[in-house]
Amino acid sequence: MSNVNVYKQRPDAAQAESPLFHASLHELVGKGSRNAGVNLREKKLLGHLTLRGDASDPTFASGVHSALGMELPVALTLTSSGDTSLQWMSPDEWLLIVPSGEEFAVEQKLREALAGQHISIVNVSGGQTLLELSGSKVREVLMKSTSYDVHPSNFPVGKAVATHFAKAQLVIRHTGEHTWELVIRRSFSDYFWLWLQDASAEFGLNISQ
Amino acid sequence: MLNIYCPHCSEMRSEEEFHAHGQAHIARPEDPGACSDAEWGDYIFFRDNPRGIHHELWVHSAGCRKFFNATRHTVTYEILETYKIGEKPSVTEASVAAAKASAEGVTA
Ligand SMILES: [Zn+2]
């Protein structure tokens, strides 16, 4: 175990608020258009951990596997197991997303499995959030928002890229045929929320929980 | 709009995702304390400004956020190759001149 100061960033007793708390999304559930082409759901307050290490080092890869039961994904891909996902962010960096409240235990497990190695684990849960978009018109909304090619021939299910979106930056993850996720920075959450409402208006937007 | 091949993402990406960071392959002096002012000033401030082949440092800032090198023609803006830090360029002023000479049937 390293001597890094690891602590529970979100105590059980504290009232947590997502970056879109002010938007009161729960009050909008069911009030959107019928037959909406776009469904939006904030997967809020999940545990986001940034993991860094040497992918070519077998002891790193096997350590991650023993702690998570998942293989390190290769460039521009995402692997998931239940509600946990591991995404390639750069050649030596991955984003691990775990169910809300599990991040502290998972971080300790990873640190134990990777003890003595040249690695870094940072809990970034407070800095970003996840939006899930589903529906037949989601791809149309993405096409209006980013120059990245989101056609299935270039962007199959399981691919994930960091790119420009609405003149800002985020991560787009293709998680199901008509399901996509956006990893957005906390400080941009209101901007993207406004952008997505506007971009989805012509297709009908529904908020789900 | 240019598409640039990121050697880390291994695919073509839009130019707006990248930033250029000037001349590549500038080695930091092994012992800065032993440099003369002229040598240190040359390392810090002076850069080539060729007409033709130029090796540059780029970063995929909106994507994987990794640095890499690109060989670019400063007249046509054509990006002839991109390669990882630590690798050597395959396209150089000399290789372009040799290719041109052989295309014209000139033997050295
Ligand atoms: Zn890249």
Taking only the tens place, the pLDDT of each residue in A67-87 is 999 999 999 999 999 999 999
Distance (Å) from CA A12 to ligand 1 centroid: 38
Q: Which of A8-12, A30-34, A40-44, B37-41 has the lowest mean pLDDT?
A: A8-12
CB-nearest to B16 from A75, A147, A161 is A147
Q: Which has the closest alpha carbon to A84: A49, A34, A129?
A: A49
Q: Do A91 and B17 touch (CB under 8 A)?
A: no
Q: Domain limits of chain A?
A: 22-207
Q: Which CATH number fits domain A22-207: 3.40.50.970, 3.40.50.300, 3.30.1360.120, 3.30.70.100?
A: 3.30.1360.120
Q: Do A147 and B14 touch (CB under 8 A)?
A: yes
Residue type present at position A115: A
Residue A80 near residue A74, CB atoms below 8 Å: no
Residue A78 near residue A160, CB atoms below 8 Å: yes
pTM for this one? 0.93
Domains in chain B, start-ordered, CATH in brackets?
3-29+41-104 (3.30.2270.10)
> Over 80: is that where the pLDDT of B35 sits?
yes
Mean pLDDT of the region A17-34: 93
Taking only the tens place, the pLDDT of each residue in A132-141 is 999 999 999 9
Ramachandran assignment for B11, one of left (phi > 0), alpha (psi -120 to 50 degrees), beta (any other)? beta
Q: Do B14 and A148 touch (CB under 8 A)?
A: yes
B contacts of A161 (beta carbons < 8 Å): 9, 63
% of residues, chain A, pLDDT over 90: 90
Taking only the tens place, the pLDDT of each residue in B75-94 is 999 999 999 999 999 999 99
Sign of the CA dihedral with A164 first, then A168, A171, and A172 last: negative
Q: Which has the closest alpha carbon to A162: A181, A189, A140?
A: A181
A→B interface, C-beta within 8 Å: 75-76, 89-91, 147-148, 161-164, 169
Give me the residues paired with residue A48 across strands.
A97
Q: Indicate the pLDDT class of residue B108, thresholds 50, 70 and 90.
A: low
Q: How far B59 CA sits from the closest chain A CA (Å)?
A: 12
